[in-house]
Amino acid sequence: MSSAKPKLCIIGLGMASMRLLDELVKHRATEQYDIAVFSAEAPAGYNRIMLSYLLTGEQTLASVTSHTPEWFAQQGIDLHLGVKVTAIDTTQQRFTTETGEVFCYDRLVLATGSNASRIALPGADLAGVHCFRDLQDVAQLNDLAVQDARPVMVLGAGLLGLEAAYGLAGKGHRVMVVHRSDRILSQQLDAMAGRLLQKAMEQQGIEFVLQRQLAEIQGTHQIEAVRLNQGEAFEVKALITAVGIQPNSELAKQAGLLVNRGIVVNNALETSQPAIYALGECCEFEQQTFGLVAPIYRQATILAATLMQLPTRPFEHQLSATRLKVSGIEVFSFGDPNQLGDQLVLQDPSLGLYRKVVLVDGVIQSAILLGNTQDANWLFELHQQQIKIDNSQRSALLFGEAYYERAAA
């Protein structure tokens, strides 16, 4: 190991890290750096978005693993799996792992991701209370006995909660989703879309209890029952909490980096310490943290260029679109789902179709597409380019580009 190349270390191997690696490979970064990746999880780089499909068994770990140990070997990148970094010494530019090993770096990238928010209730640490964030969670949920007729309760009907619910229902569990708001996926959907998606999921056997919060967890070692804030009580065999994520910034904090909720970065993804960068769900830019892939992928592109001393645009906030498939139903959304303005609505529940586009002063501010998300990108581009929509073409927006063009004719 007598290479003269500077050492680039990356802590974490999630969606952000993998995209950064792809970008670096594209720039032939291994010719310039010795690159090493440290992942606390044992398996190699898998697609976390696919967790629910792993749970149902629709996909296998192999099929969702894009960055295998062989890939790392081929690229000439050191891979340290199951290695948890516990401390960073910024003055010496080195860090220590759980097992006491010490590694030096010339550039350090923190891509430590996030942790599920914990619920602050007695009993939150009982057996049978899970998160749904990683392969370990999947493994534990896989052990739940299907023949146990008691429901699995999922707390939170956001993206993760719904994915977990879908995965569990697919395994044959009775699933009950408890959600604080009056609609599911309330960050992304309006009331109608929420209702439609809920209906579709209910048809797959998933039950919903809306406008409720968890009040009590009962059980001695193992969770046995829960009580909701309106008094309803349910015997459950497990509780999955999916009430949000928190940037995993503990390591950076201990190292003396500037941390608020996440590791504070500037528009070049630099932290408060020289030679240390952060991206992904662990970082915080202009008081905002991240949970969707789109901005994180932009960060990866920018950071890769920065590391390679290539010209690049600074990172900035952009409205991000959410695209996902919940229970096989395509969902696309950007902007405030409850945006006020000129509302355009298209609905065809028998096709599972719902579309809403909201314009303010003729410019698209937000959109929700449910069912058929064809035309989603086109709508998003119209928004990003702030195209002023002519009145004669407005309602055609809902039907997609071909209709929109025809309406102009």
Partner 1 sequence: MGRAALASRPAESAPVKTTCPYCGVGCGVLMQPKSEGESWQAIGDASHPANFGKLCVKGSALGETLDLTGRLLEPKIKGQTVSVEQACQAVAEGLSRVIQQYGPDAVAFYVSGQLLTEDYYVANKLIKGFIGTANIDTNSRLCMASAVVGYKRAFGADAVPCSYEDLEQADLLVLVGSNAAWAHPILYQRMAQAKREQPHKKVVVIDPRRTATCDLADLHLAIKPGTDALLFNGLLAYLAKHNHLDTEFIIEHTEGLVLALDQAEQTAGHDLTQLAQACGVDEADLTQFFDWFANTLRTVSFYSQGVNQSTSGVDKSNAIINVHLATGRIGKVGAGPFSITGQPNAMGGREVGGLANQLAAHMDFNQPESIDRVARFWRAPKMAQQNGLKAVELFEAVHRGEIKAIWIMHTNPVVSMPDADFVRDALQACELVIVSDNMADTDTTRCADILLPAASWGEKDGTVTNSDRHISRQRAFRSAPGLAQADWWWICQVAQKMGFTEAFNYQTPYQIFMEHVALSAFENDGVISRRDFDLSGLLSLSEQDYQQFAPTPWPITAKQPQGQARLFADGQFFTANRRAKLIPITPQSPKETPSPLYPFVLNTGRYRDQWHSMTRTAKTPRLLQHRDEPRLSLHPDDAKNLGLAQGDLARVGSRLAQVVMPVELDAGLVTGQVFAPIHWTGVYAKHGRVDSLIPSHTDPLSGQPESKHAVVTIQAWSAAYRAGFWTKDTAWQPDDALGYWVKVPKANAMFWHLADKKAFDLAHWQSANPQLGDPDLRLEDSALGTARFAWLDAQGGLKAVLFVAPSVDLQAPYDWVSGLFDQLSLSQNERYSLLSGMAIEQEDVGAIICSCFQVGDKTLRVAMAQGCDTVQKLGEKTCAGTNCGSCIPELKALLAL
Binding site for partner 1 (CB under 8 A): 15, 47, 49-50, 53, 59, 63-64, 66, 293-294, 297, 323-325, 330, 332, 342-351, 359, 372-377, 391, 394-396, 398-400, 402-403, 406-407
Kindly tell me the burial class for residue 94, based on how many C-beta atoms sit within 10 Å of its own C-beta (0-12, 13-18, 19 or more). Answer: middle
Q: Which is closer to partner 1, CB of 92 or CB of 377?
A: 377
CA distances from 9 to 17, 79, 307 (A): 11, 10, 11
Q: How far is the CB of 53 from partner 1 (least distance, A)?
A: 7
What is the C-alpha to C-alpha distance for residues 369 and 357, in angstroms, rounded to an integer? 8
| DSSP assignment string, 50-115 | GHHHHHHTSS-HHHHEEE-HHHHHHHT-EEEET--EEEEETTTTEEEETTS-EEE-SEEEE---EE
Q: How far is the CB of 264 from partner 1 (least distance, A)?
A: 26
Q: Which is closer to partner 1, CB of 59 or CB of 213?
A: 59
CA atoms lying within 13 Å on the CB side of residue 147: 0
Q: Which is closer to partner 1, CB of 53 or CB of 72?
A: 53
Handedness of CA 199, 202, 206, 212 (dihedral sign): positive
Q: How far is the CB of 395 from partner 1 (least distance, A)?
A: 5
Distinct helix (H) and strand (E) counts, the chain = 11, 27
Where would I find the beta strands (DSSP E) of 220-335? 223-228, 233-235, 238-241, 245-247, 263-264, 276-278, 283-284, 321-326, 329-334
Q: How far is the CB of 70 from partner 1 (least distance, A)?
A: 15
- The single-letter DSSP state of residue 117 is P
Q: Which is closer to partner 1, CB of 15 or CB of 226?
A: 15
What is the C-alpha to C-alpha distance for residues 309 and 287, in angstroms, rounded to an integer? 27
Q: How far is the CB of 402 from partner 1 (least distance, A)?
A: 5
Q: Which is closer to partner 1, CB of 59 or CB of 218?
A: 59
Q: How far is the CB of 98 from partner 1 (least distance, A)?
A: 29
Q: How far is the CB of 399 from partner 1 (least distance, A)?
A: 5
Q: Which is closer to partner 1, CB of 244 or CB of 400?
A: 400
Q: Which is closer to partner 1, CB of 312 or CB of 347?
A: 347
Q: How far is the CB of 306 from partner 1 (least distance, A)?
A: 21
> What residues contact 34, with CB distance under 8 A and at least 6 apart?
3, 5, 6, 7, 8, 78
Strands 102-104 and 94-97: antiparallel
CA distances from 337 to 157, 163, 277, 313, 368 (A): 15, 20, 33, 29, 7
Measured in degrees and rounded to the nearest 5, phi and psi for residue 133 equal -125, -30
Q: How far is the CB of 406 from partner 1 (least distance, A)?
A: 5
Which amino acid is residue 135, in one-letter code? Answer: L
Q: Which is closer to partner 1, CB of 49 or CB of 275?
A: 49
Q: How far is the CB of 358 from partner 1 (least distance, A)?
A: 9
> What residues contact 39, with CB distance under 8 A and at least 6 apart?
12, 13, 45, 79, 80, 81, 82, 83
Tokens in use for 189? 């959907």
Q: Which is closer to partner 1, CB of 199 or CB of 317?
A: 199
- The single-letter DSSP state of residue 273 is S
Q: Which is closer to partner 1, CB of 174 or CB of 356?
A: 356
